[in-house]
Amino acid sequence: MIVDCHTHIFEAGRGGPFELPCTADDLVRRMDEAGVDVSIVLPLPGNARNGFVQEQCARFPGRLVGLYNPEFDAPRETVRKMEAFFAAYSPPGLKIHPRQQGVRVTDAVVMDVLNWAEQRGLPVLFDVFPFGLSLDDAALHPIAYHAIARQIPNLRMILAHAGGYRLLEAFMVAKSNPNVFLDLSFTPLYFKGSSLVGDCGFLCRRLPAGRVLYGSDFPSVRLGESLEFAREFSADLDPSVKTQFFGDSAAALFRIAAAR
């Protein structure tokens, strides 16, 4: 089974740097072309609201699985809104984008959300791709998640994009904390042609099987191109590690049933 653990759909119908068509129908079409069985769809402020993601994923049961993005604009209401949403839907995890949402993992409201998720056995996926004006903000780098992983040891945390250019720092955080997973979306293609791509294969070989997940970040990258390149840099992996990387680990984390 192939599970893409990091995709987006846009309410506008197009998005990403290539302005690709990215409705739920477009995503499933690209999945069929590439041979992807299931995609995890991540809400994103300004692009796809939580309710929209759940409604669209419900149109493709067994193929699209939507997560929940906590709302931090009114911190006193964050947990209440989350609880109300989960009373209506059952997302199998949360997605937080600190850089875009203007929060840090150490913020009190974020800690409230993480403790809430830990109590319910829900994994939390964080965007961890240092970039732009906040590039020098250490609270957005992989190392910031080390203390949280130790403070909430039963919370399963997924560092999306494996930390971007700080990939080896993300590796050390995951190596030090068995509750930390790395999502290899976007980064391999973004840094294609650099030495960092070799480090992507290194992650998969050096961390225990199941701790690194395949993802594309559609529509920021073309789904088929992402999967083909992932197969290239993972070609020498042990078959059992490869099976975990391309789907079994994400299926376990997000409670995904066997492929159709």
Is residue 18 classed as helix, strand or coil in its secondary structure? Answer: coil
- CA distances to 53, 136, 187, 188, 215 from 231, rounded to whole Å, are 28, 32, 14, 11, 12
Let me know: does 181 contact 249? Beta carbons within 8 Å. yes
Any idea of the CA torsion for 188, 194, 195, 197, to the nearest 10 degrees? 10
Q: Hunting for tokens 């250490």 — which residue is that?
A: 138
Give the pLDDT score at 258: 65
Smallest Cα–Cα separation from 157: which of 177, 138, 172, 131? 177
Give the pLDDT score at 260: 45
> Residue 12 carries which DSSP code?
T
Distance from the Cα of residue 89 to its chain's centroid: 19
Question: What strands, in cross-sheet order, belong to the sheet with 38-41?
Answer: 3-7, 38-41, 64-66
Is residue 154 classed as helix, strand or coil in its secondary structure? Answer: coil
Let me know: does 161 contact 129? Beta carbons within 8 Å. yes
Those residues of the chain that have pLDDT short of 50 are: 259-260
Smallest Cα–Cα separation from 244: which of 3, 40, 42? 3
pTM of the model: 0.96
CA distance 54 to 179: 27
Burial class of residue 183, CB neighbours in 10 A (0-12, 13-18, 19+): buried
- CA distances to 1, 15, 102, 110, 199 from 208, rounded to whole Å, are 19, 35, 33, 28, 15
Give the pLDDT score at 162: 98
CA distance 39 to 54: 13
Give the pLDDT score at 233: 93
Burial class of residue 260, CB neighbours in 10 A (0-12, 13-18, 19+): exposed
Q: What share of the chain is helix, strand, coil (3-state, %, to 5)?
A: 45, 15, 40
